[in-house]
Chain A
């Protein structure tokens, strides 16, 4: 038993006593996350593989409240992936209903996560997901922002997201002409 525990592969699959990594947010707070969850971030995966993480990984670009959400997302998705891997009926292919339901639940969870965020928190999470290279989280957060833009005029979009209108008068005229059909002026 002890010899097995020493092996890298066996250790990674253990539920109890699984390997953890320590992360440090920009404001100096320490967080722990399982190595399995950390693998969802391409950046963290490379850092871990490169070794030298004994004293924790500093993330000067990610604040504590954002890092918390990142870890929540990664742990949730890592658990879901582990569950579907170990499901014996998944191999038989007859539980396609189960896998469809499970991924639907996961999508619902993702939506709930992003819906509960303020706009600032959402933007911070997008920047973090991009920096840490977590594809699923980047997709979910960007989709939320895209949803917020639907049905709005350019003015309304600028207001919501605080974006500067940097068109010249001529450029604005051109846009107006080109997209006249889209706006009931």
Chain B
């Protein structure tokens, strides 16, 4: 074929190839190949400036970045996606966005935290009225942004930010049609109030000291993950399929929600939850198929308390669709029979239970724990697999050895279905 190669390409094919290139450095290289390629650059739909894009310019990196971004964004008349990870001057953002607002759909910016006091310039994001996706990294927001209604925005993600609660509430309120919301690793305290009619997926991970509360109204939400709130109110769980509530430090003392008729997966995690909150969530989740319970302590106040006893029969009768069940340490210890198994209706079954994962941490109440394990095997007709994880036993005396031996015996009697990790 020789010289022909790409010269044989019909008009538009080179354009099609180049529109798959978005890394700014690659775009620059392509622009320098030939006139035809250079002329395609203004039609590129997407530009991506990686973190180290201008490192080669050393001390002049900042100016080089501002200059290059300005030129390339200015030239890309049909730009739809702009991603900037390298440092840039937020003061120039209004100009860039104003130029591309007719076509810009996706915007992702890493904001230098050193520029924190100049964050006012992020108000200009409101200029990009057609934005559908917005992702911001590392910003500080001390007040609600002055965005007008971002009607087209569907996806909003803010990661590693320092936010005032008024800022969060204001930003979300400016985007009434969001389907995806993620605020991750965000330092914030106070009350987050979020109301989104079209929200499908939501992930909120708030860190830092101080108490936080969440009021979320999302009638269509299907997947919800929250971490870091001590007080939660959820309105609109009718379509909720997956729910994870975690509190990695401190305690969670209140959860209120309605019934969750479509719930399939539920995960409760944390250091300390009040018993009222746990009961509240479990009562709303009667349809759940996959349940993970990994909370270490109970208690309504600062003192860490063990869990009250939970009746095994009652528990499984109120969650008859349970297929996968994972329960750890102190919560497992709280599962006991409360004499109900003695006068048991022979028709009691755990009809759907197929997989169980149990973590045992101490040999206290060994007999009760073994009884529970035996009951789980005996009454679950569909059980395929039970995994027992024995993490370091806290009291290292012979009670631990005896217990371990008993569990091994239990495993051998049920070989094939039970195993120890």
Chain A residues at the B interface, C-beta cutoff of 8 Å: 119-120, 123, 126-127, 130-131, 138, 142-143, 145-146, 149-154, 157-158, 161-167, 171-172, 175-176, 178-184
Known A146-B20, A150-B21: A179·B28 in contact at CB below 8 Å: yes
Chain B hits for A149, CB < 8 A: 21, 26, 29-30
Known A127-B13, A146-B21, A181-B57: A158·B33 in contact at CB below 8 Å: yes
Query: Are B26 and A127 neighbours in the complex by a CB distance under 8 Å?
Result: no
Q: A152, A153, A167, A181 — which one has the most chain B CB atoms within 10 A of its CB?
A: A181
Query: Are A179 and B3 neighbours in the complex by a CB distance under 8 Å?
Result: no
B23 within 8 A of A: yes
Q: Measured between C-beta atoms, what is the minimum distance from B261 to chain A in Å?
A: 15
As a 0/1 sequence over residues 9 to 33 of chain B, the CB contacts with chain A under 8 angstroms (1 = contact) are 1101100111011011110111111
How distant is the Cα of A171 from the Cα of B10 in the complex, in angstroms? 25
Q: How many A-B residue pairs have CB under 8 A?
A: 107
Query: Are A154 and B17 neighbours in the complex by a CB distance under 8 Å?
Result: no
Query: Are A175 and B31 neighbours in the complex by a CB distance under 8 Å?
Result: yes
Chain B hits for A175, CB < 8 A: 31-32, 38
How distant is the Cα of A145 from the Cα of B29 in the complex, in angstroms? 14
Q: Measured between C-beta atoms, what is the minimum distance from A60 to chain B in Å?
A: 15
Query: Are B34 and A167 neighbours in the complex by a CB distance under 8 Å?
Result: yes
B56 within 8 A of A: yes
Our pick among A126, A127, A143, A181 for the contact of B20 (Cβ within 8 Å) is: A143
How distant is the Cα of A149 from the Cα of B244 in the complex, in angstroms? 43
Our pick among A154, A161, A166, A167 for the contact of B5 (Cβ within 8 Å) is: A161
How distant is the Cα of A184 from the Cα of B56 in the complex, in angstroms? 7
B6 within 8 A of A: yes
Chain B hits for A130, CB < 8 A: 9-10, 12-13, 16
Query: Are B31 and A179 neighbours in the complex by a CB distance under 8 Å?
Result: yes
Query: Are A181 and B21 neighbours in the complex by a CB distance under 8 Å?
Result: no
As a 0/1 sequence over residues 198 to 233 of chain B, the CB contacts with chain A under 8 angstroms (1 = contact) are 000000000000000000000000000000000000
Give 3 closest A-B pairs by Cβ, nearest first. Answer: A154-B32, A146-B20, A182-B28
